[in-house]
Amino acid sequence: MYRIALFQQNGSGQSKIDGIKAYGRDQFSIEVFDIESGLPDIIDDSSDYLPDSIEADIVLDFLKHHDLSADLAVLCSRLKIPVIMSGKKISTGEAICPPT
């Protein structure tokens, strides 16, 4: 089974989760990290929001806060987990950022 870690804010990736479940059948295990709290404009330390480690084959980023996405890219790079950040311009880590 392929393991997906999906990061979202306030349910922003729910339609993608629904699609993966509907069309992926039983081929995927999804762990959802949902950040629901109000966030400051600038996050210097994302340790209160992101985990120290991720157990997944791929990470999908639907976060809206740029600082969290940038730190998530670095974390995934360190853990050698590919991360997809569609439509974003991230210069840290090794994120794959296809246009939307």
Tell if the pTM clears 0.75, that is, is over it.
Answer: yes
Pair 69, 85: CB distance under 8 Å = yes
Q: How far does CA 52 lie from the centroid of its chain?
A: 13
pLDDT band at 36 (very low <50, low <70, confident <90, very high): confident
The CATH class given to the 2-84 domain equals alpha beta
Please check whether residue 70 is in contact with residue 76, taking contact to mean a CB–CB distance below 8 angstroms: no
Q: What is the pLDDT of residues 54-94, one digit of tens each?
A: 999 999 999 999 899 999 999 999 999 999 887 667 666 67
> Domain segments of the chain: what residues?
2-84
Q: What pLDDT score was predicted for residue 95? A: 72
Better-predicted residue by pLDDT, 71 or 95:
71
Q: Residue 72, by phi and psi: left (phi above 0), alpha (psi -120 to 50) or beta?
A: alpha
The reported pLDDT for the residue numbered 98 is 67
pLDDT over 90 at 26, yes or no:
no
